[in-house]
Amino acid sequence: MADLGNILLFFLFPVSVFTALTALAAGVTKRRGLLEAARRGAYAAFAVTTLAVLSLEYLLVTSDFSIEYVASNTNLALPMFYKIVALWAGHNGSLLLWTWIVTIFIAIVAFQNRRKNNDLMPYVLFVIASTMVFFSILSVFIANPFQTLYQDLGNTLQEFAVQDGRGLNPLLQHPAMIIHPPILFIGYVGSVVPFAFAIAALITGKLGAGWIHTTRRWALTTWGFLAIGIVLGGKWAYVELGWGGYWAWDPVENASLLPWLTSTAYLHSVMIQERKGMLKIWNMALVIATYLLSIFGTFLTRSGVVSSVHAFANSGLGPAFAIFLTMGLIFSVTLLLYRRKDLKPDEEMESLVSRESGFLFNNLLFLLATIAVLWGTLFPVISELFTGDQITVGPPWFNNIMIPIGLALLLLTGAGPLLAWRHTSVETLKRSFGWPILGSLIFVIILYALGVRDGWALGSFAIAFFVMWTIVVEFVKGALIRMKNSGENFLIALFMLSRKNTRRYGGYLIHAAIVIMFVGFTGNAFNSETRAEVGEGDSFDLGSYTFKALSIVHGETENYSSDRLDMELYRNDRFITTISPEKRFYFASDQPSTEVDIYSTLREDIYAVLSGMSNDGTKVIVQVYRNPLVSMVWIGALIMVLGTLFAMLPNLRESKGGSDQ
C-alpha cells in the first residue's frame, strides 16, 4: 500500500503541472479544448490525491509500522478513531491533507464553472493549479508521508518495522483538536478561490463585479471556516493545555487570526464596491492579502522560525514556503499596480458621516489590527535578526493594542448600519443614536452600582449593549413594517423579512454573535485563581467557593497511567458537584498530559488543573481558576456559525428566479 501511495503522489506532480500549463495555454490561445483538458486535469488531480489519502489511512488503521509517519504518530493501543485522524496529526500527513483540499476545491470550481466564466476560468484554474503544484512538490519530494523506515547495516540500508509506534501526541487526543486542523485548513485553502478569480480578473481586465458575485459564497465560506477553526483552537487550548485560558497570542494562533482579519475587512468593503463602485483596488488588495496570509500561516507553523505549542518541529520546509510566498507577493502586487488605473472608483466619498465612511473606518481598523498582530508575531524573529537575542512580545502588549481596536470595531458594528448612504443629517443622527446611547449609559450606571469598576470592562459592556440594541431594533422595526404591509403576525413577518434578504440579516446574526463573544472576552477582566497543596481531607477557598479533597486516585490503561484528584465543590456551603482534574502519562510517546475538569455555568467556569505532586509525594498541587462569562464565547461562536449558514442561503426571490442583489 505504501508503494501505491508513492506512485499516486509521484503521479500527482505531473498531473498538477499539466493542469496549470494547459490552463495557462487555454487563456493565451482562447482554445476551448485546452480549457476542457485543464478541467479534466483538475478532476484527475482530485482522484489521484483522494486515493493517496485513502492509502495513508489504510496504513494508519492497520498499524503498518514500517512507515515512518505511521510509527511516529500512532501505536497499537491508540483507539481506532485517533488512528484515522492521525492523517493530519503529523507534519507530512497534514501537508497531504492541505494538498487534498486544494484538489477538492479546484475540482469543485472547475465543475461549477463548466458552462460560465469562460474568459476567467483558464486563469482561475492556472492559479489554483499553481498552488497545487507547489504543495504536490512538498508532498512528493520533501515531506512524503509514505517514507519507509530504514536501518543502517554498514554499507547498506535495509527497510524494517518497529514493534510499536510512538503514539499520537497526548495534546492532540481531544475532539476539539481533532476537528480543528481540517476546519482551519479548509479556511486557509478556501482563500485560493477568491484569489484565483481576482487574479484572473486582473489578467483579463474584466474588473467589474462579476468575479465578486461568483466568489461571494466562497469568501463567506472561507471566513466561516477560519472563524470556526480559530474558536475550536481556543476551545482545545482551554480544555487541554491547562493554563486557564483560551487565547494567549501564541504566534501560530496569531497566524490563523491574520487572514481572518483581512477576510472580515473584505466581506464588509466589498458591499461598497457592489453598491457604489468604490474601493475596487482595496478589495483586490484584501483578497490577495488573505490568500498570502493563509500561506504565511502555513509557513509559520512549519518553518521553525517561531516557538509555539501549535507548531511542528523545524522541518526544512521554511525556505520553500518563503520562496513561494515571495513569488506570489511579487506577482500579485505587480499585476495590481499594472491595473491600478482600471480600478478607479466610480464615485467619490461625499461625507465623513455616511455609511460609506463607516465601512472605510471599519476597514482601516481591521488593517491596523492586522499590522499590529503581524508585527507582534514577527518581532521576536526581527529582534533576533538584528540583535542576536529573541525578544518575545507577550499578551500584555497585544492586549494593550488590540483591546481599543476591538472595541472601536465593535462600536462601528452598531453605528455603521445607523448611518445613511452618502450623507447622514443631524436629525437622523439624533433619531438613530439617541435611545441606544441613553440605554447604554443607564446600563453602565447600573453595572457601576453593582460593583464593576474596571474601565475597559465598563466600556466593553456599554458598547455591547449599544450594538445589541441596534441589531434588535433592525429586526423589530423591519418586522413591524412588514406586519403592517402584509397582515402577517410578528414571528412570520420576522421570518419572511430575514428570508427575503439572508445576506443582510445573516450579517446581523453574525454581528450579534460577535457582541456575545465580546461579553465573554470582557469576563477576563474579572478572572481570579488560587494554588493549593492538598491531601485527602484538606480544603481551600476561592472567593465564595470551597474545595474539599476527597481522594487521590491512581489508574492505568494500556495507553496511559493517571493520577486523579477528586474534590467536592461547594458555594456558600452548598454542595454543587464533584470536580476531578487528572494528570496522565502516555507510555508510547513518553509524554505527560493535563486533563482539566471544568464546572461551567452561564455565569462562570470553575477550572481545575492537577499541576503535580508535592515535594514529599504525599500531596498533590492543584491550580483552580474562576473565569467569568467564558460560556458566552462558545455560545457566540455557535450563533456565528448559524448566522454564517443563514447568510449563505439564497433569498426567497432567488428561488423564484430573481436576483440576489
For range 127-156, the mean pLDDT? 85
290-307 average pLDDT score: 79
- Given a cut of 80, whether residue 438 has pLDDT beyond it is yes
Burial class (CB in 10 A: 0-12, 13-18, 19+), 265: buried
Of 64-73, 96-105, 331-340, 418-427, where does mean pLDDT reach its minimum? Answer: 418-427
For residues 510 and 363, membership in a common domain is answered with no
Could you tell me the CA-to-CA distances from 101 to 53, 131, 393 in Å, in that order?
11, 11, 34
pLDDT at res. 316: 66
Split at pLDDT 50, 70, 90, the class of 347 is confident
Q: What percent of the chain has pLDDT over 70?
A: 95
Phi, psi of 566 (to 5 degrees): -95, 125
- What's the pLDDT band for 305 if we cut at 50, 70, 90? low
In a domain, residue 660? The reply is no
The CATH number that applies at residue 568 is 2.60.98
d(CA 293, CA 262): 9
pLDDT, average across residues 374-393:
81
pLDDT at 380: 81
Q: For residue 362, give the nearest of 296, 428, 425, 406 by alpha carbon.
A: 406
Q: Which band of pLDDT confidence, cut at 50, 70 and 90, is reported for residue 521?
A: very high
Judgement on whether residues 493 and 537 belong to the same structural domain of the protein: no
Other beta carbons within 10 angstroms of residue 3's beta carbon come to 10
Look up residue 361 and give its amino acid: F
Burial class (CB in 10 A: 0-12, 13-18, 19+), 644: buried
Q: Categorize the per-residue pLDDT at 307 as very low, low, confident or very high, splitting at 50, 70 and 90.
A: low
Q: Summarize the confidence of residues 540-549 as an average pLDDT.
A: 93
The residues near 501 (Cβ < 8 Å, ≥ 6 apart) are 651
How does residue 658 score in pLDDT terms, banded at 50, 70 and 90?
very low
pLDDT at 661: 32
Q: How far apart are CA 355 and CA 406, in angstroms?
A: 19
User: Which of residues 365, 390, 415 is at a domain's end?
Assistant: 390
> Given pLDDT bands bounded at 50, 70 and 90, which one contains residue 644?
very high
Provide the pLDDT confidence category of residue 77 given band limits of 50, 70 and 90.
confident
Query: Residue 303's pLDDT band (boundaries 50, 70, 90)?
Result: low
Residue 155 has pLDDT above 80, yes or no: no
Instruction: Answer yes or no: are the C-beta atoms of 28 and 68 closer than 8 Å.
Output: no
pLDDT of residue 257: 94
Write down the pLDDT at residue 423: 81
What's the per-residue H, E or C state across 336-386?
HHHCHHHHCCCCCCCCCCCHHHHHHHHHHHHHHHHHHHHHHHHHHHHHHHH
Number of domains the chain is built from: 4
Do 236 and 338 belong to one domain? yes
Higher pLDDT, 616 or 331: 331
> pLDDT category, 431, cuts 50, 70, 90?
confident
> For position 165, what pLDDT does the model report?
84
Structure-block grid coordinates of residue 627: 473565569
| Confidence (pLDDT) at 295 | 92
**Mean pLDDT (whole number) for 340-354:** 82
Asked if pLDDT for residue 327 goes beyond 50, the answer is: yes
Residue 78 lies in a domain: yes
Dump pLDDT digits (tens) for 200-252: 999 999 888 888 988 989 999 999 999 999 999 899 889 888 888 899 888 88
Q: Please indicate, yes or no, if residue 186 is contained in any of the structural domains.
A: yes
Range of the domain at 531: 527-632
pLDDT of residue 333: 94
Q: Are 288 and 198 in contact, with CB atoms under 8 Å apart?
A: yes
State residue 653's pLDDT score.
Answer: 63
Are 230 and 260 a contacting pair, CB within 8 Å?
A: yes
Instruction: Identify the weakest region by mean pLDDT among 28-37, 125-134, 277-286, 423-432.
Output: 423-432
Query: Distance between CA atoms of 328 and 336, rounded to whole angstroms?
Result: 12
Q: Are residues 623 and 575 in the same domain?
A: yes
Query: Is the pLDDT assigned to residue 526 strictly greater than 80?
Result: yes
User: How far is C-alpha 390 from the geometric centre of its chain's CA atoms?
Assistant: 27
Task: Say yes or no to pLDDT of 382 above 80.
Answer: yes
Q: Is 65 exposed, middle or buried (0-12, 13-18, 19+ CB in 10 A)?
A: buried
- Are residues 357 and 262 part of one domain? yes
Residue 73 and residue 165 share a domain? yes
Q: Which of 358, 390, 422 is the last residue of a domain?
A: 390
DSSP letter for each residue of 411-467:
HHHHHGGGSPSS---HHHHHHHHHHHHHHHHHHHHHHHHTT---HHHHHHHHHHHHH
Looking at residues 245-263, what average pLDDT do you find? Answer: 90
Task: List % helix, strand, coil for the chain (3-state, nearest 5).
Answer: 65, 10, 25
In sequence order, the β-bridge partners of residue 46 are none
Q: Are residues 28 and 133 in the same domain?
A: yes
| Contact by Cβ (8 Å): 405, 369 | yes
Write down the pLDDT at residue 659: 38
What's the mean pLDDT when you consider all of the chain?
A: 88
Q: How many CA atoms lie within 13 A of 59 on its CB side?
A: 31
Provide the pLDDT confidence category of residue 153 given band limits of 50, 70 and 90: low
Among 9-23, 360-374, 390-404, 445-459, name the one with the lowest average pLDDT: 390-404
| pLDDT reading at 660 higher than 70 | no
Same domain, 296 and 364: yes
**Percent of the chain's residues with pLDDT above 90:** 54
Could you identify the residue written with the cell 506570489? Answer: 328
Q: Are 630 and 520 in contact (CB under 8 A)?
A: yes
Q: Domain check: are 311 and 264 in the same one? A: yes
The answer on 298 and 190 residing in a single domain is yes
- The verdict on 302 and 447 lying in the same domain is no
Range among 136-150, 303-317, 358-372 with highest mean pLDDT value: 358-372
Which has the higher per-residue pLDDT, 314 or 96?
A: 96
Secondary structure of 26-48 in HEC code, one letter for each residue: HHHHCCHHHHHHHHHHHHHHHHH
In the predicted structure, residue 343 carries a pLDDT above the cut 90: no
Q: Is residue 397 part of a domain?
A: no
| Amino acid sitting at position 64 | D
The answer to whether residues 179 and 311 belong to one domain is: yes
pLDDT of residue 16 exceeding 60, the answer is yes
The answer to whether residue 602 scores a pLDDT higher than 70 is yes
Between 654 and 266, where is the model more confident? 266
Average confidence (pLDDT) over 453-458: 91
Nearest one of 303, 304, 262 to 283, comparing CA atoms: 262
Residue that finishes a domain, picked among 173, 201, 226? 173
